Amino acid sequence: MNAIVNNVDESVRELMRDVELGASAGAFRAVKIDRRSFLKYTGLMGGGLVLGFSLSTPADAAAAAAGDFTPNAFLRISRNGSILIFNKGPEIGQGIMTAFPLIIAEELDANWADVVVEQAPVNPAVFGRQSAGGSRSIPDSWDQLRKAGAVARSMLMSAAAAQWKVPVESLSTRDSAVWNGKRSLSYGALAAKAAGLAVPDAATVKLKERKDYRLLGKSYTGVDNRKVVTGAPLFGIDQQLPGLKFAVYEKCPAVGGKVRSANLDEIKKLPGVRDAFVIEGNGKTTEIMPGVAIVADSTWAAFQAQRQLKVDWDETDASKDSWSALAARAAELGKLPVGEKTLVNTGAVDDALKGAAKTVSGFYTYPFVSHAPLEPQNCTAWSHDGIVEFWAPSQTADRALTTVAGALGVPVEKVTIHQTRVGGGFGRRLMNDYVCEAGAIAQRFNGPVKLTWTREQDMAHDFFRAGGFHSLTGGVDAAGKLTAWRNHFITFSQDGKVPSSGADWSAEQFPAQNMANYQLSHTLLPLKTPTGPWRAPRSCSVAWVIQCFLHELSAAAGRDHRDFLLEVMGEPRLLQGGLNTGRAADVIKLATEKAGWGRKLPAGHGMGLAFHFSHSGHFAEVAEVSVDANKRIRLHRMVVAGDIGPIINMSGASNQCEGGVLDGYSTMFGLEITMENGRIQQSNFHQYPLLRIADQPKVEVHFIQSEHPPTGVGEPALPPVAPAICNAIYAATGHRVRTLPLTKEGFSAA
């Protein structure tokens, strides 16, 4: 195996742990700050106090003199009553630019119409986590943001109490004002006075009770929607600077290839080309792989020059991966009931299978897929005045600071990153390879450069959702109860020891803890193609296998699948890994009730149910499909029932579920990435056919707003989609789909 790729995979795996397991739900990670970071922050912002961090500085005094109230880094209330809230997280389409400020505004008791939202500087020493991944934004920041609002509200109340000379207990707040009976003082009127007060310890400030919420749970349009619909420059690719030049960066089509030589002299003579040079890179796919940079006067000139570029690649260590060969090997291995390593073995599976009234076996295959965000990878970088400055559409700008500093060999203090809006994340931009590349080009060029990948490069150089293979056998007893489950998972590894990123299976995964006789083993196939987190990593593929195979078993037993699934869930209890079987049962009941489970359907129609727990979210979904004699399929309706605790922004949360359904459907319907001789075979959307508006089903979203702490919704609505649809296809036709995408089994769109 190639040491380069091993190294890479460890870095991605570390990221995956951070994304998936970084913090326990609802935990408040205290923001620690040192003096230097604080001063850097105040230098950028012109005054402000960190939550729970009280001091007097000249900048603070200046802010106070201006009549502004800056109780912490998230908030500034000016004398005219406008309330500026800084969103600390990357907006990748998940709606955090609206959701985060709403949480602060709720505890502040602000009038939402008074609130203006701006993107915060990237400074994790001040703001804590500044990443978007793992649906962790809401659970990780819920307490921090509530306290940021509550501290300010407490100080405004103290200011009003002093002005009126009344006890603070006699006061209340609403609509950006402090109230004492019928008289009120607006927050703007109190700003200067509040700015002179000591900031209370956030731990001592009382948070609102849920019943008193005025803002949370209602529907809000995104705070930047007006800018989006008028074409304002928001995204990374929209960045403009005086003297900006435009770059491309060509890498080996087979990952791991190095530059032997290139026709640089010819390229430099082409119209509009300013420079062309080889970058050795550091051999990490998450940072800088070897390649050729071209800098030109326009993006088009750079693209044109890229087409003329001829590179002699040294492919000694490059990937030779072949999907057809890997799939053939997996089919052979699938004949073995148990893989090379047993991961879980509870009860006595062999005995249970022998004693089963009915057994079922199946071999499931799903492909690699690409993230394909619509905004191709890009980044603007400028090396000047001893610093390297970036404008990056990253999902992990906080992590990018240290990654980029390490890759470029500069101190982290000399790196500045400006967070831009992100034209789709889906996990792709957890990696900051394109940021590092832009930095490496900027270090060699005098002036700001914008690196833009072509769509073809974006599809070729992804960290793909890994494909996989599952050889399953299960059994039910005479009463139709699930008694045995055996899964030989054939997956991939970069190092021959552990599965590639996103290509593993957790020992806690349902239904391991819901039955007596359960066995899970795996066999690892060698892989060099980079893999990584893709929307609902792991869950986006294994939920399909688990929930379809469960349906195979309930169908074999002649059981109603809803009853069977509820029986497998069992009594309400909390399982290892966070699955709460009571919450699961509640969403299964709600989804089936709303869908009219069991009602008579038109000929050729079928209904399918699936459940999956991931990212702290419990989701059940019911699909209604029709399939004609020519295997032409239509998804008519998808009913989604989810429990993610209290909803922050109802419109935003529903939008995430609607999008999750379409993404899940699109992916399972016709998308696959294949590779031969290490080269990705698909180049652009004509070979990677995302579904279009005519294919949109009616999506209905229902939430159970339980009393559990709120959790994220960018991902957990996606995993049940594919199994719900496949179970519906079985109900409509009796055909069991065991290979994705559906087009591989001859289905097409009606």
Partner 1 sequence: MVTLNLRVNGKERTLTDVDPSTPLLWVLRDSLSLVGTKFGCGMAVCGACTVLVDGAPVRACSTPAGGLAGKNITTIEGLARSEKELHPLQQAWIDHDVPQCGYCQAGQLMSAAALLARTPAPTDQDIDAAMAGNLCRCGTYQRIRAAIHTAAGKLSRSKA
**C-beta of 167: minimal distance to partner 1 in Å?**
42
Q: Which of 242, 385, 694, 746 binds partner 1 (CB under 8 A)?
A: 694
The one segment of 453-461, 485-493, 494-502, 513-521 that binds partner 1 by CB under 8 A: 453-461
Q: 718, 535 in Cβ contact below 8 A?
A: yes
Residue 742 near partner 1 by CB under 8 A: no
Q: Which of 29, 444, 455, 708 binds partner 1 (CB under 8 A)?
A: 455
- Strand, coil or helix: what is 333? helix
Which residues ranging from 258 to 277 are in contact with partner 1 (CB under 8 A)?
Answer: 271
Q: Which of 170, 221, 342, 576 binds partner 1 (CB under 8 A)?
A: 221
Q: Which of 131, 286, 452, 513 binds partner 1 (CB under 8 A)?
A: 452
Q: Which of 128, 367, 376, 646 binds partner 1 (CB under 8 A)?
A: 376
Q: 461, 290 in Cβ contact below 8 A?
A: no
- Strand, coil or helix: what is 469? strand
Question: Per-residue x/- mask for partner 1, residues 158 to 197, rule CB under 8 A?
Answer: ----------------------------------------
Residue 719 near partner 1 by CB under 8 A: no
Question: Per-residue x/- mask for partner 1, residues 70 to 99, rule CB under 8 A?
Answer: ----------------------xxxx----
Q: Which of 17, 32, 174, 226 binds partner 1 (CB under 8 A)?
A: 226
From residue 71, alpha-carbon distances to 41, 98, 600 in Å are: 14, 21, 60
Burial class (CB in 10 A: 0-12, 13-18, 19+), 468: buried
User: Which regions of 78-128 does DSSP assign to beta strands (E)?
Assistant: 83-87, 115-119
The one segment of 21-29, 129-137, 198-206, 367-375 that binds partner 1 by CB under 8 A: 367-375
Q: Which of 299, 554, 592, 616 binds partner 1 (CB under 8 A)?
A: 299
Residue 637 near partner 1 by CB under 8 A: no
- Which C-beta is closer to partner 1: that of 90 or that of 678? 90
| CA separation for the pair 46, 593 (Å, rounded) | 55
Strand-strand pairing, 378-384 and 449-452:
antiparallel
**C-beta of 290: minimal distance to partner 1 in Å?**
24
Q: Which of 69, 100, 235, 323 binds partner 1 (CB under 8 A)?
A: 235
Residue 373 near partner 1 by CB under 8 A: yes
**C-beta of 209: minimal distance to partner 1 in Å?**
28
| CA separation for the pair 302, 297 (Å, rounded) | 8
Residue 233 near partner 1 by CB under 8 A: yes
Residue 222 near partner 1 by CB under 8 A: yes
| CA separation for the pair 90, 133 (Å, rounded) | 10
**C-beta of 20: minimal distance to partner 1 in Å?**
22
- Which C-beta is closer to partner 1: that of 165 or that of 692? 692
Residue 606 near partner 1 by CB under 8 A: no
The one segment of 103-111, 208-216, 237-245, 500-508 that binds partner 1 by CB under 8 A: 237-245
Binding-site size for partner 1 (CB under 8 A) equals: 64
Q: Which of 25, 33, 237, 441 binds partner 1 (CB under 8 A)?
A: 237
| CA separation for the pair 700, 468 (Å, rounded) | 31
Which residues ranging from 662 to 691 are in contact with partner 1 (CB under 8 A)?
Answer: 662-663, 666, 684-686, 690
Beta bridge partners of 339: none
- Which C-beta is closer to partner 1: that of 372 or that of 415? 372
- Which C-beta is closer to partner 1: that of 200 or that of 424? 424
CA angle 385, 249, 284 (to 5 degrees): 85
| CA separation for the pair 570, 576 (Å, rounded) | 15
Burial class (CB in 10 A: 0-12, 13-18, 19+), 567: middle
Residue 599 near partner 1 by CB under 8 A: no
Which CB contacts under 8 angstroms, 24+ apart, belong to 287-290?
Answer: 287/403, 287/406, 287/407, 287/432, 287/433, 287/436, 288/407, 288/433, 288/436, 288/437, 288/440, 289/251, 289/252, 289/255, 289/256, 289/433, 290/251, 290/252, 290/257, 290/258, 290/259
Nearest to 531 by CA among 684, 675, 341: 675
The per-residue b/e assignment along 718-742, b for 16 or more CB within 10 angstroms, e otherwise, is bbbbbbbbbbbbbbbbeebbbebbb
- Which C-beta is closer to partner 1: that of 135 or that of 554? 135
Residues contacting 96, CB < 8 A, separation 6+: 87, 89, 90, 132, 137
- How would you write 577-642 as a 3-class SS string? CCCEHHHHHHHHHHHHHHHCCCCCCCCCEEEEEEEEEECCEEEEEEEEEEECCCCEEEEEEEEEEE
The one segment of 76-84, 102-110, 403-411, 423-431 that binds partner 1 by CB under 8 A: 423-431
| CA separation for the pair 552, 567 (Å, rounded) | 15
**C-beta of 739: minimal distance to partner 1 in Å?**
24
Q: Which of 521, 655, 682, 733 binds partner 1 (CB under 8 A)?
A: 655
**Residues found near partner 1 in the complex (CB under 8 A):** 92-95, 219-222, 224-226, 228-235, 237-238, 240, 246, 271, 298-300, 303, 372-376, 421-426, 452, 454-456, 651-652, 655-656, 658-663, 666, 684-686, 690, 692-694, 696, 698-699
